[in-house]
Each structure stands twice: as structure tokens, then as C-alpha cells.
Amino acid sequence: MARSYAMMGSPLLPASEDIQFVEATAARWREQHGRAPRAVLLGVTPKLAQMNWPAGTSLTAADSSAPMASALWPCNGEPHTRRLVLADWRFLPFPDGRTDILVGDGSINCLRYPDSLRSFARSISRLLSSDGVCVIRCYIQPDRRESPQEVIAQIGSDGPETIHQFKFRLLMALQANAIEGIAVRHVYDYWASHTMDDSRPISRPGWGREVFDVMALYRGVDTVHTFPTRNELRQVLDEFFIEVDVSVPSYYLGERCPTIVLKSRAGCRAG
């Protein structure tokens, strides 16, 4: 994943619209509370680490992968207000009630559903201050699932779809259910068995030979992603959080990539 990050694109990476929503949420928190927030970033997403945080924000990133952190963390050499720790998101080594803004991009979809997601939700809910918020972009399986055959059948059609958007759709289409998730090697195997070999280009406008390089990143990789529906996600998150805001971006497939703003139920009761 660390090696292939540079070849990824939206929607598996946040777009400017997604970053702007997080920036606006952080700025609003700063204005409402009159001080710089204490923030935690789940992972080392460079666009989130380097966004326009309110002046004075103390930002700590947490990632369990040393290679990922080493390759992508953009704040090495920054002042003490930017730091990185290696940690499992389900067992974050931070004090309870001391995080004002917790941010993640696709973090939920790296966890097995529902047990690891529940452990994650419990872990991060205890971190939030009484007025703290969790801002996470999620990948949501649509209620009407596409079939893999539908996705593959559209390869030769005209249209603006990028290889990254195609891969995103195929990932979701190949998932049998949220509990099983989808190992990304199955995406490559399905692609390879239903398309021409990499000695010839695909006849789709805008797609060149690099398509095969992008898809080959999944070859033999056992990493599992999970894509719950909105209702399935709520069944777990609602145990720990109250949803206070949501942004559904306007870009293609944006309805599958909402950014949700959550407050801890325990914090709300304490407030």
C-alpha cells in the first residue's frame, strides 16, 4: 500500500471538495470554542495532514504501519504541534476526553465488519472531549448493488469514468457482504479473467496502458476492505455516536463517499 499510494486516485483518495468540508468543520469548531483544537488523524493521509488547520492546532497522526507512515507522513521536521505515533486504531494510546477533532479518510473501510468496527468506534468515542467531533469520510455500498458483470460490461463504453472510479465500483460489486468484505486480490483476478491481456490497450477514451499497472497493484494482495451499506454502518456507529452533520460530495460516485460528523453519546450526556 505504501509503495502504490502514488498511483491511487479519487475516490480512494480525498478530493478537494472533501478536504474543504473538513477544513470548514475544523474552522467552525475553532470559532465556536475560542481556542485551537487538539486533533488526531487516523492514518497519514497527506492531504489531511497538510490541510488548512486552525492556527495553533496540535495534530497527532496514528497509523499501525511503519512503512506507510515512513513513506507518506508529510510533517517530519515540523514543530512539536505535528507528531506521529504507531498504533492500532482500536487501541489508541491517548488519554480519554482530550481530543477535540478526530479525522479519518476511509478508515472505517479498513476494518472488518462488525466486530473490529465496533472496537474502533468504542476506542475513538472515549477519546473525544465533551464537545469534540469525529469527521470521517466513509465508503458506502449502495442499496442497489451493481454486479461485477455490469461494471466490466461498461469498460468499452464512452464516458468520463477513470480507472480509479472503475476499480472502486468493481471493489464494491465483488463484495458478497460486509462481514466477508473483499480481498483486493480477488478484484485483480476477476479483472484479469474478464479483460484482454496487458499486451494490448483497452479501447476506452482516456485509458492507456497504465490501466494495467493500476490494476496490477492488487495482484496477490490479501488486504481486505469492507463496504457496509449506510444502514449497516449506522447499526454499529449509533451505539457510540450521534450524527450531527454529513457532506455528500458532488463528484461522480460521491453518494458512496459521504463525510460524516459524529459526536460521542457519552460526551453528549456529560455535556
Task: Please tell me the predicted confidence (pLDDT) of residue 270.
Answer: 53
Task: Please tell me the predicted confidence (pLDDT) of residue 200.
Answer: 47
Tell me: the pLDDT tens digits for 19-40? 999 999 999 999 999 999 999 9
6 or 99: which carries more pLDDT confidence? 99
Task: Please tell me the predicted confidence (pLDDT) of residue 76.
Answer: 58
Domain ranges of the chain: 5-140+228-270, 148-225
17, amino acid identity = E
Which residue blocks in 115-209 are alpha helix, DSSP H? 115-127, 148-153, 163-174, 184-194
Reported confidence tier of residue 3, pLDDT bands at 50, 70, 90? low
Tell me: the pLDDT tens digits for 114-160? 999 999 999 999 999 999 999 999 999 999 999 999 998 888 676 77
For the domain spanning 5-140+228-270, the CATH number is 3.40.50.150
Tell me: the pLDDT tens digits for 39-61? 999 999 999 999 999 999 999 99
CA-CA distance, 120 to 140, in Å (whole number)? 17
Answer yes or no: is pLDDT of 75 > 80: no
Reported confidence tier of residue 203, pLDDT bands at 50, 70, 90? low
Residues 6 or more apart whose CB falls under 8 angstroms from that of 130 comprise 97, 267, 268, 270, 271
Q: Are 252 and 7 a contacting pair, CB within 8 Å? A: no
> What would the grid cell of residue 93 be?
494510546
Task: Please tell me the predicted confidence (pLDDT) of residue 197.
Answer: 53
Answer yes or no: is pLDDT of 199 > 50: no
